[in-house]
Every structure is written in structure tokens, then in C-alpha cells.
Structure 1
């Protein structure tokens, strides 16, 4: 679990995050949503330890990041997996080498141990047959699955995903959503997803954090989001005619 308390972040006197209090639950897909400029990216970077909050604290399973020494911070980072928006795979490395990269960086495993772990995670994302290919030789959906395999190869406690469905067709996006949710439950990890994809919100949003102008406007799950009294959230989620019809059907079923 990740607990955020009174989180503020300012740049050159401009306050971006304005006192956020929330929790990201273990074993669930936690989604951060909001309009562009709402503070989602800054919030995610704070959670990753890439930028330091101006005020407030972030606790990882009861341990505040600000109280950790350098070795403890390094140990925490070992327990973080990251799926980047663009995949961020190394073009000059094969699929297997890309997945192995965190093991070389953070562990002292033998080559045999690393290869065994790589095979296991590639098998989990159904990509064992492309281990010797380069990223340019596989599809965008496959590249995202490689990114997921690399993110979980170190068996992290926390998994962060920045727009994991960016650039994917709807069918592939659903497959990636389902894969992330399955892995979250199998590994019992705390997964945080920064997304604009409303399909993801309504399909795997087990804990949804909606930011508006740097503040926490609403928090709930996909089963109650259509009941929201927040006009800004409703306008954001149900902006298309399709999602408006979905909401009408849901409300009629109450």
C-alpha cells in the first residue's frame, strides 16, 4: 500500500499539487485520471521518487520516503517496476536482453538464474517465442508486453504504468488492461496507472483517483463512478456519446 498525506508540489512559486490525501491499495489496479494540467504526471513522479514534494509525505507500506537513507531508497527502487508510455525499450537489445536489464542492474544473480527468470516472465506475457527478436521486429502490443515483463522481472512490490495503452488499438488495449490486472492480483502488488483511457477506467478501475487543478476531486471505483455528483468528473469520463449512453443504461439499472 502507498499512503499519501497532504502532498504539495510547487515549481518557481506555482503550486501544482495542492494538498492531496489518498491511498493506493495493494492487490488492486489504482488509476489516476484527470484533464491535462491536473497534476497527474507530477503526482506520478512524486510517487516514483523522481521529484521531491514541497510539503507532505508518501509512505510505502508504512515507511515514509523522506526518512529513508540512500541505501534504503535504492532498496525501495528495486521494488518498483515501471511501464513507460512509449515502452522505452532499448533498440539495440533483444527482447530477452531488455527484460534482463533490471536483473543486471539490481541483483547479483548468475547468468543462469537471470535467464531462468526472464523465461518465466516472458512466458507469463506469452512472448517466449520472440525472446531473440529486437523491438523493431515485433508489434506495438508485443512491445508493451515486453515492457510489462521487464517491469515485473524483479518481482516488485509496486508497479507504475504511465499511459500503458497509448498508441494501441482498442482490442490490444483491452488485452494490456487485462494483463496488468491479472499480474496485479497474481503478484499481490500495488499497481498505479496514469491514464486517459476511459475504457480502462470503466473496465479495471478498482480504485480511481480523479485530480482537478492539483486537488483530489473524487475517489471511488468503476462500479460507482456513474453515480458521481461531481460535474467535472462526469464531463471528463462521459465526454463521448458512447459513454453517455453507457451511463444512462447503468443509471436505469439502479
Structure 2
């Protein structure tokens, strides 16, 4: 579990996050949505320690990250997995080397142990036998699955996903969403996903937080989105053609 209390973040005179408080639940996919400039990426960077809030605290379990010394913060970073928007795989490394990279950085495992763990996570993301291939030799969807394998190879307690479906076709995006949710449940991870994709909200939004102008204006489940009369939610969510169609179907069913 991650809890944030009254978090403010500013750059110069501009305040980006304006007193956000919420809880990211363990074993669930927690989605952060909002228009560009709403503060989603800044919140994510505060959560992983790249930005330091001017006010408020971020708790991992019972510990506030601001109260941790350098060694404890280093240990915390080892408990984090990160799925970057562009994948961030190393072109000069093959798939096996890419996935093994966090193990080399953060563990004292011997090579056979690392290889066994790499093969385990590659199997989990349905990529057995691609160890010696390079990123240029596999599809974008496969690259994203390699990135997921690398993000979970260190058995993280916390998984952060920044626009995981960026650049993917709808079918592949759904597969990635499903994989993220399955891994979250299987390993009981606290997963936080920043996304613009309303399909993701429908598929895996076990907890959804809507940011607007640096404020948390609504939170609930993907099912509660259809029941709320919050104007910020309806104006944001139903701008999607997909959600307009779903809403129309639901209205017809309710009248029937």
C-alpha cells in the first residue's frame, strides 16, 4: 500500500499538485487518469522519488519516504518495478540481457540463478525462447511484454506503469492490460498505472483517480464511473467515443 497525504508540488511560481491525498491499494490496479497537464506524470515522479514535494508526505507502508535515509531509500527503489512509456529497452542488449539487467544491478545472484529467474518471467509473459533475440527483431507488443518481464524480474512490491499501451493497437493493448492485472493479483503488488486509454479504465480500473488542474477531483472503480454525476468525470470520460457507445447501451437497457 502507498498512501499520500496533502501532497503539493510546484515548479517556480506554478503549483502542479495542489494538496492531493489518496491511497493506492495493494493487490489492485490503481489507475491515474486526466487530461494532459493535469499532474499525472508529476505525481508519478513524486511517488518514485524523482521529485520531492514541497508539502505533504508519501508513505510506503508505515514509512514516509521523506523520513528515510539514503540507504533506506535505496532499498525502497529495489522494491520498485517500472514500465516506461517507450519500453526503455537497451538496443545493444538481447532480450535475456535486458531482463537480467536489474538482477545484475541490485542482487548478488550467480549467473545460473539470474538466468533461471529471467526464463521464469519470460515464460510468465508468454515469451519463451526469445532470449537471444534483439529488440529490433520483435514486435512492439512483444517489446512491451519484455519490459513487463524486466519490471517484475526483481519481484517488486510496487509496480509503476507510465502509459503502458502507448503506440499499441487495441488488441495488443488489451493483452497488455490483462497481463498487468494478472501479475498484480498473482504477486499481490501495489500497481499504479498512468494512462489516457479509456479501454484500460474499463478493463482494469479497480481503482480510478481523476486529476484535474493538479487536484484529485474524483476516485472510485471503473463501474462507479457510470453511476457518478460528477461533472469532471462525465466531461472527461464521455469525451471518448467508446464510452459514449457504452453509456447509450446502458441507457437503453435501463429503459427496457
Aligned length: 254
Q: Which position in structure 2 is the counterpart of 1:112?
A: 112
Instruction: Determine helix, strand or coil for the equivalent of 2:235.
Output: helix
Q: Does 1:212 align with 2:212?
A: yes
CA–CA distance in structure 2, aligned partners of residues 224 and 232 of structure 1: 14
Find the aligned partners of 2:252 and 2:16 in 1 and give their Cα distance: 38
The equivalent of 1:90 in structure 2 is 90
| Matching of residue 185 in structure 1 with residue 188 in structure 2 | no
| CA RMSD after TM alignment | 1.0
Instruction: State the 4+ residue runs in structure 1 displaced beyond 2 angstroms.
Output: 248-254
Map of 2:200 onto structure 1 = 200
Matched residue, 1:141: 141
Give the gaps of 5 or more residues in structure 2.
none
Contact 2:174 2:200 in 1 (8 A): yes
Question: Is the 8 Å Cα contact of residues 226 and 251 (structure 1) preserved in structure 2?
Answer: no
Alpha-carbon distance in 2 for matches of 1:222, 1:103: 35
| Structure 1 residues 38-66: Cα deviation after superposition (integer angstroms, max 9, x where no partner) | 00000000001011001000001111001
CA contact (8 A) 2:198 2:240 kept: no
Determine the C-alpha separation between the residues in 2 that align with 1:63 and 1:250.
Answer: 44
- Please, which moves more after superposition, 138-147 or 224-233? 224-233
Task: Give how far 1:237 is off.
Answer: 1.2
Give distance in 1, aligned partners of 2:201 and 2:231.
17
Residue number in structure 2 paired with 1:3: 3
Matched, 1:224 2:205: no
CA–CA distance in structure 1, aligned partners of residues 225 and 59 of structure 2: 27
Stretch moving more, 156-165 or 220-229:
220-229
What is residue 249 of structure 1 aligned with on the other side?
Answer: 249
After TM superposition, the structure 1 stretch with the greater mean CA deviation from structure 2, 176-185 or 225-234, is 225-234
Change (3 A) 1:69 1:86: same
Structure 1 residue 107, shift from structure 2 partner: 0.4
Query: Counterparts of 2:60 and 2:252 in 1: how far apart (Å)?
Result: 40
1:172 alignment counterpart: 172
Match of 2:161 in 1: 161
**Within 2, Cα distance between the matches of 1:137 and 1:217?**
43
Structure 2 CA distance for aligned equivalents of residues 226 and 13 of structure 1: 37
C-alpha contact (below 8 Å) 1:227/1:251 kept by paired residues: no
1:24 & 1:42 partners in 2: Cα distance? 16
Deviations 1:115-151 (A, max 9, x none): 1100100010011221110001000000000000000
The alpha carbon displacement at 1:228 in A equals 1.7
What is the match of residue 35 of structure 1? 35
Q: Is 2:99 the partner of 1:99?
A: yes
Tell me which residue corresponds to 1:151: 151
Query: What's the secondary structure of 1:216's corresponding residue?
Result: strand
Match of residue 236 from structure 1 = 236
Q: Is the 8 A contact 1:29 1:191 kept in 2?
A: yes
TM-score (norm 1): 0.98
Any gaps of 5 or more consecutive residues in structure 1? none
CA contact (8 A) 1:10 1:16 kept: yes
